[in-house]
Amino acid sequence: MPRLHAFQVDYGPHGFTSMPINIQDDWNVIKLYARQYASLYLKDDGSFWSVYRQNGYVPLNYVVDTAGVIRYIAEGWNENAVRQVIEQYLPDPIEHDVGVARLIAPTGSLDSGTAVTPACSLRNYRSYAETYPVRMRIGADYDTTVTVTNHQPGTTVYVQFPQWTALARGSIAVACSTELATDDIASNDVARTTLTVNVDDIAVTAILVPLDTVEQGRGYAPAVEIRNLGTVADMARVRFYISDFYFDTVRVALQPGKIDTAFLDIWTPAQLGTFPVRCTVATLKTDLFPANNELTKSVYVGPAGIEEQPMGKARFTLFGSSQNPARTQVTIRYSLPQASPVDLRIYSTAGELVRVLESGFREPGLHQVVWDGRDELGRLVGRGTWFCRMTAGAYQAVTKLTTIE
């Protein structure tokens, strides 16, 4: 039985020994075993219940005193009844016993940053008023004791500890224990549980669109890469600003550890010059790591055709389409500063793959690819809004396309 060890822990120091006896032994054999020991003992076969039932035998529990007198016989297992009999005939009586009736807090799961008042309820199971320390351990960093004074027999008391704040993510061991020096029963002295600490952490990791340089009068769909670095599903609230003349916001649901791209409404630059760009993200709860909630950059708005002009050192760039919106056929341009694997794909606004336009190794320089407005099965997709995503090594960018036929 799983509790047989607890019997030995509780009653062993008071003259108790547990002993297995074959179920088919007769009374005389059982008494013979009993007389070989100077202590009370329990014979228990409960852990083999299924085996005995298959063989047609009835499992029994015997409590036998030191004189070889069988004091208790039972089919199955009744722990309270067995304890009462054992304690009645123990050579050394049980007089002191306090234990943890319930570990109340913290339990279950908590969001990181939550402050909790640890608490437990304690029971005095015997006939003496007791004064004793109680300890609460939470992980490796919290180990605190309080003193229970004059705990009356047969009563339960509620005990609180100094406040604790959940910080580190993951599973944390929690234990509450009584520390009465004269306690005769050890099995009820500790209550344990495992606490899960969840972390809310949404980060913006890249501003994909706009690039550093854009054309006046041409439409761009701002896009940012966001990540859920926390341990629970969360809703990212994305806010995007360009100077004081553009603002948009969108919400994106993210599972733990996942990455997604947030797309915002079209921005059409009207003024020439250099302007600040800022993106912020927030959770609907409490983000414990605000340092990764914001990215900034600047964007230069030049006259039409600026993107095709020499810009000094070549770089990875997705120019998108110069016809936006476009009719059935769309020409998409990109540049590479060095030979690189390139993956260019068209997605629907629902995130479904529509067409793979490029997938392979490309030489450095300016490239263009024509999308004929068809999906992977050769079907015309018709009018709509689409996203073109380019990946070239570590570089990644997204642009928005609109077709009107």
Single out the residue of 205, 214, 317, 222 nearest to residue 275, CA to CA: 214
Give me the percent of the chain exceeding a pLDDT of 70.
81
Sorted by sequence, the CB contacts under 8 Å of residue 66 that are 6+ apart come out as: 15, 34, 37, 38, 39, 40, 91
Residue 65 pLDDT exceeds 90? no
Lowest-confidence pick of 21-25, 213-217, 247-251: 21-25
Burial of 367: CB neighbours in 10 Å, binned 0-12, 13-18, 19+: middle
Residue 241 pLDDT exceeds 90? yes
Question: Which neighbouring-strand residues pair with 41?
Answer: 17, 64
pLDDT computed for residue 328 by the predictor: 66
Which run of H or of E encompasses 7? helix 4-11
Instruction: For the chain, give percent helix, strand, coil, nearest 5.
Output: 10, 50, 40
Q: Are 201 and 288 in contact (CB under 8 A)?
A: yes
Q: Which pTM value belongs to this model?
A: 0.58
Single out the residue of 73, 101, 91 nearest to residue 11, CA to CA: 91
Q: Are 203 and 292 in contact (CB under 8 A)?
A: yes
pLDDT computed for residue 398 by the predictor: 80
Question: Which neighbouring-strand residues pair with 388?
Answer: 346, 399
The side-by-side arrangement of strands in the sheet containing 142-151 is 109-111, 190-198, 170-178, 130-138, 142-151
Q: How confident is the model at residue 31 (pLDDT cuts 50, 70, 90)?
A: low
Q: What is the largest CA-CA distance in the chain?
A: 108
Q: Are 34 and 65 in contact (CB under 8 A)?
A: yes
Residue 177 pLDDT exceeds 50? yes
Residue 144 pLDDT exceeds 60? yes
- Euclidean distance between CA atoms 91 and 89, whole angstroms: 6
Q: Are 136 and 176 in contact (CB under 8 A)?
A: yes
- Euclidean distance between CA atoms 123 and 136, whole angstroms: 16
